[in-house]
Chain A
Amino acid sequence: MSSTNLNKAVSPEAGPDATPQAHDSASSKSSGWAVFTFFMIGFVGSLLAGWILFPELLYSQKNQPIDFNHAVHLDAVTDGCDSCHYFREDGSFSGMPDLAACEDCHQEAMTDNPEEVKFVEEYVTPGIEVPWLNHSKQPDCVFFSHAAHVQGADMSCASCHGDIGTSEHTRVYEENRITGYSRDIWGQSISRLGKPGPGDPRPMKMNDCAECHEDETGHKGACFQCHK
């Protein structure tokens, strides 16, 4: 407290009110360390928020309406993936099978499996299409030809969609709250660094298309190839 006394001494005219003010002025000066500390709090805080909290907030978690077992179906059918996800006569790809396709076998429940019973009761009997959540759905501005990749370039389904065909349960569908699309499009890694593990679906942003095209064809491709 010596500085206070000193102040008092050099300014005898100063009233008693001046004392607390004078007392604060030294410690209230923003010290460089303190500023740095606050900067770092903000810096680290936003790093944590951006890397950990943000992905948590960005995606909502949804379950598929029916816990579909791909493995069982793949065993039961003769034509592999093509049995349900087939090319139409005009070359367009059927995508997710509609109810009519499911009904070919599931007019009535074939097993006691509660998921199958639920499927028949809630969708087949009343004739309602199942609102499947599509992990690979792209915006309308993207034109993608399955025929060019699967039939033309002889790629397997798994090379993009991962080992979905052998899964026994559906995965949680992480929906982007802003865009409504699946997290799979951006990729599980929020930083988009690293490669997906073997058997994981591949990210499907434009850069992913371009990257693969560059590797495989030597060229990223032109805008109009996908944006018609």
Chain B
Amino acid sequence: MQKYLLRRILYGLLTLFGVSVIIFMVMRILPGDPLVAMFGMEGFMKLSAADRARIMEDLGLSDPLLVQYVGWMRAIASGSLGKSFFRGESVGEIIMHRGPLSAQIGMMSVVISWMVGLPVGIISAFRPNSVSDHVARSVSILFLAIPGFWLAMLIVLALLFWFNYKAPLLVVHVWQDPWMNFQLVIGPAIVLGLGQGAYIARMSRSCLLEVIREDYVRTARAKGVIEWLVVIRHALPNALLPVITLSGILMGFVLGGSVAIEQAFGVPGLGRTLVTAVIERDIIVVQNLVFLYGVIFILINVMVDLSYAWLDPRIRYQ
């Protein structure tokens, strides 16, 4: 068991290293001068050779790649993560300021997805091929096809129409003004939660249907347990494991989706910062934020794998 834990964490670290190398390569080695990327072709042409050299030196982009990579790792270790090209803030400050908002959205969306997806899945599996099952499945298939950011835009449109909604511009933390903060994060959380909920509903339905066929469920029925207790108490715990894994995999959906959804709602979270940085070609910010998203995704998946051992004694005693 301990060996399994250790190996899983080791693989996680290895993947993390690979992720950092890939980001670094994508940002440096791929065609195109970073100055062209920053200033555009015309702006680049206007710069004198001396200016170019000076700016490259300032950015630390004229060092050998290995030196740059080690420098980046050092910046990560120190927590500052390097400076934005266009803003005075260090990337570490940006993350501390805007990260909590995105983290709130992500966590709330996971809670919402379980609150919506699981009951829908249970209702579906409870009476397969009934009217309620068909409705639940159709709705979840529809939600798999609706792009989250479009749903977000429609909600904003409706809010504008009925409530004179204004896009929030300032970051409001929960410790500053809980109610304002709630208004800021609830929209993106609901949209993201519904998107994940559709996957959760589908998965929990099919897993429940598989478990319900097993002997011990028949035994429970035979000894006279009421049907809903059979489903909730006997079948559900065993059906949940794959759903938990799915929820971990869906973190990719949450992290990626939140970028577009924050943009649609105009919420000033990390996702919006990333979009702005990509458009401004602020390489240092993009590099660090993409790495952060990778780190979070890997961490969550390692945690999901480890929670397996805790939830399922069959794995624990291997």
| Chain A bound to chain B | no
Residues of B participating in the A interface, judged by any CB pair closer than 8 Å: none
